[in-house]
Amino acid sequence: MNITIDQQGSSKVAIIESSDIIINNVQDALDLMASVNYTDDAHKILINKSNLNEDFFELKTKLAGDILQKFHIL
């Protein structure tokens, strides 16, 4: 996984590049959020659709809602 930080003014975005699935569950998302926040002081993440588990796009799994709710809190 490669993380690049794009900064425009005081706004930092962590751009995630990988050929693997990075987020399989809520804990993976929390770990990624905490990592980019702590190491790079970035509060925004840009991740490719292919880096998300397919369950993210199945609303009945509630994975997307659970992850986005956690992201909003951080």
pLDDT at 59 over 90: yes
pLDDT at 16 over 80: yes
Residue 74: the pLDDT is: 55
Maximal CA-CA distance, the chain = 39
pLDDT at 72 over 80: no
Q: Mean pLDDT over residues 50-71, rounded?
A: 94
Across the chain, the runs of DSSP E, i.e. the strands, are 2-8, 11-17, 44-46
